[in-house]
Structure 1
Amino acid sequence: MKLTVLGATGGIGQEIVRQALDAGHQVTAVVRDPARLTVTGAGLEVFRADLTDPRALRPAVAARDAVLSGLGARSRRDAGVAARLTRTVLDAMEAEQVRRLLVVSASPVGPAAEGDAFADRAMRRLISSVLKDVYADLREMEDELAASATDWTAVRPPRLQNKPLTGSYRTVVGGTPRKGRFIARADVAHAMLAMIDDPATVKQGVGVAY
């Protein structure tokens, strides 16, 4: 497949690029600073673009089978970036009539898992309170997706870890895995790539966790 990866220098973005190349896909990695992209491969095109301008982004998404985005706030200071940049991506994709889009959201944006213990519910409330601006941004991003013409999927991981790929995790379409507290960035990337061709995930939030 021909894939475009946004946020390609981030933790999840670089994993998407690496795994997609290993699987034989052609990958366009959209970056602001090419020097920060450490992944290389014969099927890789590095595209430098201003993500605030949909016209600049259009060549990077044109004629692609799917766009995968690792864009998002790295801290509370960045709250607002996910919704703002996703609007640009949607404008570019709709102009080029590219439909499949997968983005990274977060577990607290989705519904609470059925049967979670009190400690898990309490931790969820605490995290949601501390990072309320970040999650408000992600909810706004998901609202933008729902109002768009794209075939979107919002992947909602819990706490992210820098650990090796396992390929073994749980997913819940429209929900949240019970006691799902952690997942490696590499496995989030793996899940996103696996969902590209999964019609059950289209126009859905998908919880993913160990």
Structure 2
Amino acid sequence: MRLTVFGATGAVGQEIVRQASAAGHEVTAVVRDPSRLPDGLRDASPHEVLPLSDVAAAVAGRDAVLSGLGARGRKACDVAERLTRQVLGAMEAEGVRRLLVVSAAPVGPEPADDPLLDRAVRRVIGRVLKEVYADLTCMEAALAASATDWTSVRPPKLTNGPLTGTYRTVVGGTPRSGRSIARADVAHAMLALVDEPAAVKQGVGVAY
């Protein structure tokens, strides 16, 4: 497949580029600053590297677009919503439909049977990262209003652990007591969901 990856210098974005390239896909990496993409990844993997300003060229003719765009700290400043809207506009103009983005577990529904401790921890984290989650909620609203075949992948706490390929997914929900997942496995899940019809226009919870 011809894939475009936005936010390719981020931890999840790098993993998407790396894994997609290893699987034989043709990858276009889109970044704010091309010099931030690691040399090994830039030279060995992507078909091309484009600046974030060239969104239309980045999505034209692609089979799917995957995005790791988002805030890098607690102050979101609407970065996920704003940049995702740019991507959506370009995709709709170019007639490209499949889009997968990274969101977060607190944006999705709480599992009905989640233990009280997990609920309490989630609410504390929600208060600490309320700006980030508000930004992601607005991003998901933009997805829902778009003409794309979107999927929002919603992980809990992200770690730098190795790729395992073993994790739980819940289409339209959140895994019970899902407390963490490695960024490498989030990337793996996103690539696995590209061709999953049940995930279209859905949030998908992922966790160990």
Task: Report the TM range for the smaller structure's normalisation.
Answer: over 0.9
1:28–1:47 CA contact under 8 A, matched in 2: yes
Say if 2:56 is the partner of 1:48. Answer: no
Within 2, Cα distance between the matches of 1:96 and 1:8? Answer: 21
Which AA in structure 1 matches 2:102?
Answer: V
4+ residue segments displaced more than 3 Å: none
The offset of 1:27, in angstroms, is 0.2
Identify the match of residue 122 of structure 1 among 97, 120, 123. 120
- The 5 Å alignment of 1:58-137 reads 58-137=56-135
Identify the match of residue 137 of structure 2 among 131, 136, 139. 139
Q: Which range is displaced more, 102-111 or 122-131?
A: 122-131
Within 1, Cα distance between the matches of 2:152 and 2:207? Answer: 14
Within 2, Cα distance between the matches of 1:4 and 1:79? Answer: 24
Which AA in structure 2 matches 1:46?
Answer: V
Within 2, Cα distance between the matches of 1:87 and 1:72? Answer: 12
Report the secondary structure of 2:131's partner residue: helix
Within 1, Cα distance between the matches of 2:103 and 2:134? Answer: 11
- The 5 Å alignment of 1:117-196 reads 117-196=115-194
Q: TM-score, normalised by structure 1?
A: 0.95
The offset of 1:154, in angstroms, is 0.2
Report the secondary structure of 1:76's partner residue: coil
The offset of 1:32, in angstroms, is 1.9
The equivalent of 1:14 in structure 2 is 14
1:24–1:43 CA contact under 8 A, matched in 2: no
How many equivalent pairs are there? 205
The offset of 1:174, in angstroms, is 0.4
Report the secondary structure of 2:49's partner residue: strand
Report the secondary structure of 1:72's partner residue: coil
1:25–1:43 CA contact under 8 A, matched in 2: no
Within 2, Cα distance between the matches of 1:163 and 1:44? Answer: 27
Identity of aligned residues (%): 70
Q: TM-score, normalised by structure 2?
A: 0.96
Return 5+ residue gaps in structure 2 as ranges: none
Q: Which range is displaced more, 5-14 or 127-136?
A: 127-136
Return 5+ residue gaps in structure 1 as ranges: 51-55
